[in-house]
A and B are shown apart, each in its own frame.
Chain A
Amino acid sequence: MLREPFREFYNIFSRKERLREYRKNGRKIIGTICNNVPEEIIHSLGGVPVRLIGEYENTPLANSKAPSWMCSYARGVLEGGLSGDFDFVDGIVGATTDDTKLHLFSAYRFYVKPSFSYMVQFPYVNDELSFEFFTKELRRFAEKLSSFLSTNFIDERLEKSIDVYNEFRELCEKLEELRRDDAPKITASEWMSLMLASNAMLKEDFNSMVSARLDELKEMDGMKDYRLRIHLSGTDFYHLGLLNLLGECGAVVVSDDLCTSAGYYSGFVEGTDIESLAKRYMGCTACVMTAHPGKLSVEERLNFIWQRIDESGAEAIVILKDRGCEVCGHQCPWIVMESELPVLVLDLDFPLSVEQYRTRIEAFIEAHGGG
């Protein structure tokens, strides 16, 4: 169901060949388990930052070490570690952003014993004091990682890495225009294959690959016979099967706020130093944990969602609510309550029984879609 070049991108992710190649050439692979880890620091120190994603229908090893109701993302990562599929990962970095991720980090360290690990202490309030702290914390992280990677933290290298990542973000915005078109040129699963690939190679390599194909992507046939334009809401979601199903039922995904997609690339670093990096990561309102003083992070996230919907012309929202996701668990009712658009909440239970979702999606489109 993936057209070229998206199949190629997906294969890069699933086969992990690039990562093994980098490793063969002496680079260390540093796995992250949260968007709030500033990858630019890892990149500037010569490491290869990779968002750890475990693609498993079943997670028997993880289920023996963690409760089976934990979110599928956490179980997938733990499964990858325990099974040896993540043997190419030299170190892991987490952030104090939700309980699942805190304990995933701890469990991974306990059972898999990576050579390096670091927990970035992420502030929950975006104020001056926390900004000062976070800047120092990022320096501390850089210091520890540079020791592991046997390299020095140099400001000029950070500047270059920030440029690379900003270029990636800019490319994502260009690609988004293709997705938002009246006749969208990229399906939901194709979009996700791009996002997954971006997490399985160095950003500069991804940027080159995509830039080289951008014209080709712009020329692709757009979808005209869809029935409903959808904004996808959720967290660490990446299941292509369900995304395909949305398309089969007549929906096109024109925007999202997923951690594996827009939540990852939204927001540029305005500057070239570590302070600018701290500002960007603390200011990410896609992320649910940090808010400005006197504000609630759920409200800031809702504003992020409404903004994306305005830009994309979405007509409805589909929330992908993993049964173990604490973020969705707490915030989903507020999206439903405060949305002016119709909302479909899909309670996701992995392994996914795709047919059960077909009825719900079809019924939703029957009620709210055109045609």
Chain B
Amino acid sequence: MLFAGIDIGSLATKVCIVDEEGEIVTYLIKKTGAKIREIGEDAFQECLDNAGLKKKDVGYIVATGYGRNLALSGIADEKVTEITCHARGAKALFPSCHTVIDIGGQDSKVMSLDDKGKVIRFAMNDKCAAGTGRFLEVMSSALGIELEEMGKVAMKSKNPVNITSVCTVFAESEVISLLASGHETVDIVAGLHKAIARRVAGLVRQVGVVEEVVMTGGVAKNMGVVRALKEEIGAEIKVPDEPQIIGAFGAAIIAREKILNIPEGNPK
């Protein structure tokens, strides 16, 4: 029997299917778009098709993310918040994990876990784009650099600029002023990475750092942010191979635990 997790975010929908051992069989990342009601089903079907699987192969589906309530009324058997799912997913991959940092497209969150992977404390920022992937998207556009390249560019800097604006929109104005006054692009990019790390570090401190620290979410693919965050919080950060699907993976693990009656936090 297989188990599925569907994470419907505001920008991207992720599907992850695991087997009875908790191993990932297949996964998919797809843009959410405007049709939130349909996307869960569409992405799930596409993921199955890509792996040559059928719906009947999947015994239980857990939905998470922004669109989880809609998914529950359609395809999913259960809904669980992305906080619990990211925590469970990170713990399954890194059994020593006690702190999870998830920076998504439009929100960021930090979770503190006990030894079993249960969330003890968490902090979330979903009111402001500074400190999220959106911040980097806006800046990459202002600088004319591909989003995927931003991290590499940041790593080249030896003298990051201090970005003072707390708001994404005003930071963009600040970047343009800095370019106009002759600052090096690499230093500006590094400064932006420090700014996002600083915002997220504020959330991290609210929850407290207990190692190991694992970073999930799409922004974890950006090594510049990971490095800057490491410096801000003063701790090593582990990043899974595909950090963007950890929420969906965690949801699939929860589905597996539920059907196979496995106690919480049992390592795969």
Nearest opposing residue in chain A for B66, CB measure: A359
A208–B83 Cα gap in the complex (Å)?
47
A367–B87 Cα gap in the complex (Å)?
11
Interface contact A366-B124, CB-CB below 8 Å = no
Write out the residue numbers on chain B whose beta carbons fall within 8 Å of the beta carbon of A363.
Answer: 81, 83-84, 119, 122
Chain A interface residue number, banded: 10 to 19
A360–B127 Cα gap in the complex (Å)?
13
A189–B22 Cα gap in the complex (Å)?
42
* A64 at the B interface (CB under 8 A): no
A219–B83 Cα gap in the complex (Å)?
39
A363–B84 Cα gap in the complex (Å)?
6
Write out the residue numbers on chain B whose beta carbons fall within 8 Å of the beta carbon of A362.
Answer: 81
Contact of A356 among B82, B83, B118, B126 (CB under 8 A): B126
* B80 at the A interface (CB under 8 A): yes
* B120 at the A interface (CB under 8 A): yes
Interface contact B83-A359, CB-CB below 8 Å = yes
Knowing A342-B120, A367-B118, A367-B120, say if A359 contacts B82 (CB, 8 Å). Answer: yes
Contact of B84 among A342, A349, A356, A367 (CB under 8 A): A367
Residues facing B in A270-286 (CB within 8 A) are: none
Name the residue in B81, B82, B84 with the highest tally of chain A Cβ atoms < 10 Å from its Cβ. B81
Name the residue in A342, A353, A359 with the highest tally of chain B Cβ atoms < 10 Å from its Cβ. A359
Chain B interface residue number, banded: 10 to 19
Nearest opposing residue in chain B for A365, CB measure: B81
A353–B127 Cα gap in the complex (Å)?
10
Interface contact A366-B80, CB-CB below 8 Å = yes
Contact of B81 among A342, A349, A359 (CB under 8 A): A359
Residues facing B in A338-371 (CB within 8 A) are: 342, 349, 353, 356, 359-360, 362-363, 366-367
Interface contact B119-A349, CB-CB below 8 Å = no
A149–B80 Cα gap in the complex (Å)?
59
Nearest opposing residue in chain A for B84, CB measure: A366
Knowing A363-B81, A363-B84, A366-B81, say if A356 contacts B127 (CB, 8 Å). Answer: yes
Name the residue in A356, A360, A367 with the highest tally of chain B Cβ atoms < 10 Å from its Cβ. A367
Nearest opposing residue in chain B for A359, CB measure: B81
Name the residue in A362, A363, A366 with the highest tally of chain B Cβ atoms < 10 Å from its Cβ. A363
Contact of B127 among A349, A366, A367 (CB under 8 A): A349
Write out the residue numbers on chain B whose beta carbons fall within 8 Å of the beta carbon of A349.
Answer: 127
Write out the residue numbers on chain A whose beta carbons fall within 8 Å of the beta carbon of B122.
Answer: 360, 363
Within the complex, the shortest CB–CB distance from A68 to chain B, in Å, comes to 14
A349–B126 Cα gap in the complex (Å)?
12
Write out the residue numbers on chain B whose beta carbons fall within 8 Å of the beta carbon of A360.
Answer: 83, 122, 124
Write out the residue numbers on chain B whose beta carbons fall within 8 Å of the beta carbon of A359.
Answer: 81-83, 124, 126
Interface string of A190-209 (1 = CB under 8 A from B): 00000000000000000000
Nearest opposing residue in chain A for B79, CB measure: A362
Interface string of A66-102 (1 = CB under 8 A from B): 0000000000000000000000000000000000000
Nearest opposing residue in chain B for A249, CB measure: B81
Nearest opposing residue in chain A for B80, CB measure: A366
Write out the residue numbers on chain A whose beta carbons fall within 8 Å of the beta carbon of B120.
Answer: 342, 367
Nearest opposing residue in chain A for B254, CB measure: A366
Residues facing A in B192-237 (CB within 8 A) are: none
Residues facing A in B97-135 (CB within 8 A) are: 118-120, 122, 124, 126-127
Within the complex, the shortest CB–CB distance from B253 to chain A, in Å, comes to 14
Nearest opposing residue in chain A for B124, CB measure: A360
A367–B121 Cα gap in the complex (Å)?
9
A360–B84 Cα gap in the complex (Å)?
10
Nearest opposing residue in chain B for A323, CB measure: B127
Chain A interfacial positions (CB closer than 8 Å to B): 342, 349, 353, 356, 359-360, 362-363, 366-367
For the complex of A and B, 4 pairs with smallest distance between CB atoms = A363-B83, A363-B81, A367-B119, A366-B84
Chain B interfacial positions (CB closer than 8 Å to A): 80-84, 118-120, 122, 124, 126-127
- 19 intermolecular pairs with C-beta atoms under 8 Å apart: A349-B127, A353-B127, A356-B126, A356-B127, A359-B81, A359-B82, A359-B126, A360-B83, A360-B124, A363-B81, A363-B83, A363-B84, A363-B119, A363-B122, A366-B80, A366-B83, A367-B84, A367-B119, A367-B120
Extra 20 A-B pairs, beta carbons < 8 Å, given A363-B81, A367-B119 = A349-B127, A353-B127, A356-B126, A356-B127, A359-B81, A359-B124, A359-B126, A360-B83, A360-B122, A360-B124, A363-B83, A363-B84, A363-B119, A363-B122, A366-B80, A366-B83, A366-B84, A366-B119, A367-B84, A367-B118
